[in-house]
Structure 1
Amino acid sequence: MKISIIAGARPNFMKIAPIIHAIKKAHSSGHNLQYRLIHTGQHYDEKMSDTFFKELNIPHPDANLNCGGGTQAEQTAAILVAFEKELLENPADLVLVVGDVTSTMACAIVAKKLNTKVAHVEAGIRSFDLTMPEEINRMVTDSITDYFFTTSTFANDNLKKSGISESNIFFTGNVMIDTLNANRSKLRKPAIFDENNLEKGKYLVMTLHRPANVDEGEKLKALIDEIVNNVEGLPIIFPIHPRTAKIFSSLGIEADNLLIVEPLGYLEFNYLVENCKAVITDSGGITEETTVMGVPCITLRANTERPETVSIGTNELIGVNPEAVKPALAKLFAGDWKKGGIPELWDGHAAERIVDSLLKINA
């Protein structure tokens, strides 16, 4: 079986890395599995350098389509054109897409129009919020996918409700946890830790990038003011997203306990997360990692595509109203935060189960 594996953004590479390792292991055991790794170039990231690939043991792409920049429509169109050419020149039996970025949807469309089977890793997750571009990508991708690899029973149920046959749904677990487990012993202390005399459990980590939180200056200022004023003076490490930085710089926010840093690499960022008191975020992926690490997570969103991080894990949704921040932090500092558990099959072996499923499909 020849598989074209698609990655468009940095988190995608973290998801495909364990899958590629599992494919190589199966191949070395005599199974006829071959892969070609395609980077669409959707996100250009200077940190995605040789160091990034080496740190996380991620193979370099076989092709880069260089489809970065532009509006969502322009980027989608560029990926459609470029990946069609790539797939015609390098035919595959299966195109494997991961996550929910524009590349995921665009490459699935190309594959289906060229009569190539599609497998979707992280299929079935839903926020049911159509204002999120990612939700559109998820819905479109899953509507034309052939094989669905899921992270949770919630995702399984979403797919079944949409009419997907159970025989095409493979509950395999969470590949992001494969990557976390494989690298947890290698997490590296960033310079900011010692420079600011940080101590384990005595600081918070914050990430903000979603439009509902950062696009309006007054709203962003109100959120950060509430957070800064209700953490009992503990330092807040804020690796600032480029989208957020543009607005933040004009707000005149000054707080001694707010430490602004550039976006960090995977090993350094997760070192901070593993050792902090809590995370405040509007990300989805971070809530998975905090759940496995047992770190309290306060999510500034009204919905989540990963409800298992709330029902089972350490995550709580508090919405986007700044007034919700103080009670959540009061609960945290009172020691009343739930301990949480780890969802089923988030055990570091999801990629192995995905490859085992592919072998059965190809049998």
Structure 2
Amino acid sequence: MIKKLVSIVGARPQFVKAAAVSRAIARMPGLTEVMLHTGQHFDEDMSDVFFRELGIAPPHYQLNINGGRHGEMTGRMLIEIEAILVDEQPNIVLLYGDTNSTLAGALAASKLHLPIAHVEAGVRSFNRRMPEEINRILTDRVSTWLFCPTHAALTNLAHEGIASGVHHVGDVMYDAALDAVRLARVESRILRGLDLAPGGYSLATVHRPDNTDTREALARVLAYLQNAARERPIVLPLHPRTRAAAKRLGLTFDGLMVIPPVGYLDMAQLLENCATVFTDSGGVQKEAYFHRKPCITMRKETEWVETVDAGWNRLWGSDASSTTRRDIPEYGHGDAADRICAVLVGASD
């Protein structure tokens, strides 16, 4: 029997993960996929370009739900996703990461008694001020298959009493990064367009609410980056939330090379050729490691503790800095998506 999966995505990191898994689904006899895009990231720079560059087929459903408070957005998604799941009657609902789209999909599927597969399960920052942390915890609680990228994720789930259906498969972001860097070397022209030399610049991303919602927080981030830019130019692909916050709070990006959000291939090219990464993004922390670039995370905690333990990542304000760096084999060998599909094909209904 062919198993139908409804995959739910809504934000940039999910498009990247879905690209790797969707390619594996297409290669795997016994699985077929329906893609549902909530619209959480909706504009050209944050959504459409990723589908084109990563070779993802246009979604079967586009809900165009974005904006508003977390509860409002999640509630609107829940209503629409439930109706689609009732119509599609999938064998499996496939969810990624930790966004409002993830939580809405988890709630809708669980109330319809549909099995849930959660890619990137067990990841924890232990900061419940982050909406993503709540989304992760709740989604893991109702999932049938929990696909963990790291050993720390396995340990987190064990501490929470979750053992059934847990699989360490590696990180699908690594699968995607390996594909992207090969394409970017051929397709991307961003270094030439920005007149950047390999190793001659640093790369930064800023978008977390804790860093953008108050003037004090955003001013601190910008001052930190502006000071670091005295040593080496810093390229800042500017997230729409951060741009709007700076305008609202009367702050400027003086001293930084601000550019619009970039597609995944251009981001891969920037990462491969930068000297250092500054970020508050969970995904970019890992992408920095995939390209073997030292990273400073502008947060007090990280979900990806192994990047700190291995010496590639340092938390903002921490004096701890390893003098040695090692590889992180638990992220896998670029075959995490195939391993996920093999589990789902072999799973009993």
Inter-partner Cα distance in structure 1 for 2:241 and 2:228: 25
Kept in 2: contact 1:10–1:45 (CA 8 A): no
Q: Secondary structure at the match of 1:76?
A: helix
Q: Does residue 251 of structure 1 match 2:251?
A: yes
Aligned to 2:8: 6
Q: Percent identity over the alignment?
A: 40
Kept in 1: contact 2:7–2:35 (CA 8 A): yes
Aligned to 1:56: 54
Inter-partner Cα distance in structure 1 for 2:311 and 2:285: 8
Q: Secondary structure at the match of 2:147?
A: strand
Q: Does residue 184 of structure 1 match 2:181?
A: yes
C-alpha change, 1:179 and 1:69, in structure 2 (3 Å) is same
Inter-partner Cα distance in structure 2 for 1:212 and 1:50: 27
C-alpha change, 1:245 and 1:163, in structure 2 (3 Å) is same
Kept in 2: contact 1:291–1:340 (CA 8 A): no
Kept in 2: contact 1:40–1:66 (CA 8 A): yes
Kept in 2: contact 1:3–1:36 (CA 8 A): yes
TM-score, normalisation: structure 1: 0.88
Cα displacement (A) at 1:303:
0.8
Q: Secondary structure at the match of 1:61?
A: coil
Cα displacement (A) at 1:261:
0.9
Kept in 1: contact 2:41–2:47 (CA 8 A): no
Unaligned runs of 5+ in 1: none
1:171 to 168, 173, 186: 168
Aligned to 2:343: 357
Inter-partner Cα distance in structure 2 for 1:175 and 1:253: 34
Aligned to 1:288: 286
Inter-partner Cα distance in structure 1 for 2:205 and 2:47: 23
Q: Secondary structure at the match of 1:237?
A: strand
Q: Does residue 102 of structure 1 match 2:100?
A: yes
Inter-partner Cα distance in structure 1 for 2:327 and 2:215: 36
In structure 2, what residue type is equivalent to 1:239?
P
C-alpha change, 1:21 and 1:281, in structure 2 (3 Å) is same
Inter-partner Cα distance in structure 1 for 2:199 and 2:214: 31
Cα displacement (A) at 1:242:
1.6
Q: Secondary structure at the match of 2:328?
A: coil
In structure 2, what residue type is equivalent to 1:15?
K
Cα displacement (A) at 1:313:
5.4
Q: How does 1:1-363 map to 2 (within 5 A)?
A: 1-27=3-29, 32-47=30-45, 51-165=49-163, 167-187=164-184, 188-191=187-190, 193-194=191-192, 196-249=194-247, 250-255=250-255, 258-312=256-310, 314-319=312-317, 338-362=324-348
Unaligned runs of 5+ in 2: none
Inter-partner Cα distance in structure 1 for 2:122 and 2:216: 35
Deviation string, structure 1 residues 54-87 (Cα, Å, up to 9, x no partner): 3211121111223222221111111111111101
Alpha-carbon RMSD across the aligned residues, in angstroms, is: 2.1
TM-score, normalisation: structure 2: 0.91
Inter-partner Cα distance in structure 2 for 1:135 and 1:263: 25
In structure 1, what residue type is equivalent to 2:179?
A
